[in-house]
């Protein structure tokens, strides 16, 4: 009987005993409409350690408001979304969400102004561990893109942006070529 109890305990430990991987975070980026982008972030329990490393004065501060403001600064410095003109899209607010599955993680909702996303830079938690991996799902009305950021590659450009950049490059090169061609033609016409 004692042997069966140990096996049952061991199996339960394997399936429920492990907490959220301390070096992995998940981000669901929802393009709601042209006026709103939401990011649902699922952080491991080590988020507190990342904040303490970011701002060591928090260690002696028990005030919730101080921690909230520090977290907001941390997010503003480490998570950026850019529009097609490479201007940062403004962070409007941060909301704590209830944990869905595990008490070993904490969930937040970051609300940004809307716009077309050209680039996402996510360096959250990289200050704590150089092996941190952030998994992302970018959802808009018609598409879903998955990508990963890490310390070696903290930025991502959605494919639509790559196409826009490609067409913009073609347009610029074409314009330069056309202007040179017109100048050469104008020079030939003026020379009798």
pTM passes above 0.75: no
pLDDT tens digits for 145-183? Answer: 899 999 999 999 987 544 455 456 667 777 787 777 777
pLDDT of residue 5: 41
Task: Please state the φ and ψ torsions of residue 171, each to the nearest 5 degrees.
Answer: -60, -45
* Alpha-carbon gap, residue 47 to 128, rounded angstroms: 9
pLDDT tens digits for 71-119? Answer: 999 999 999 999 988 999 999 999 999 876 656 789 999 999 988 899 9
Sole residue written with tokens 């590659």: 153
The distance of Cα 68 from the centroid of its chain, to the nearest Å, equals 19
3-state secondary structure of 28: strand
> 10-19: long-range contacts (C-beta < 8 A, 24 or more apart)?
19/44, 19/45, 19/102, 19/104, 19/105
With vertex at residue 59, the alpha carbon angle to CA 54 and CA 60, rounded to the nearest 5 degrees, is: 140
Of 44, 45, 39, give the one whose Cα is nearest residue 27.
39
């Amino acid at each position: 009987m004692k042997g069966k109890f140990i096996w049952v305990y061991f199996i339960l430990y394997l399936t429920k005993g492990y907490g959220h991987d301390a070096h992995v975070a998940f981000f669901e980026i929802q393009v709601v409409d042209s006026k709103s982008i939401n990011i649902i972030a699922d952080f491991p329990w080590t988020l507190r350690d990342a904040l303490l490393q970011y701002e060591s004065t928090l260690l002696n501060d028990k005030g919730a408001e101080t921690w909230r403001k520090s977290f907001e600064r941390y997010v503003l410095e480490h998570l950026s979304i850019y529009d097609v003109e490479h201007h940062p899209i403004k962070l409007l607010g941060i909301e704590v969400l209830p944990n869905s599955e595990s008490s070993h993680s904490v969930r937040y909702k970051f609300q940004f102004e809307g716009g077309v996303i050209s680039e996402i830079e996510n360096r959250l938690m990289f200050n704590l561990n150089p092996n941190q991996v952030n998994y992302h799902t970018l959802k808009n009305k018609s598409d879903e893109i998955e990508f990963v950021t890490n310390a070696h590659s903290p930025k991502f450009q959605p494919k639509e942006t790559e196409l826009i950049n490609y067409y913009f490059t073609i347009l610029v090169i074409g314009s330069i070529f056309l202007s040179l061609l017109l100048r050469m033609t104008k020079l030939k016409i003026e020379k009798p």
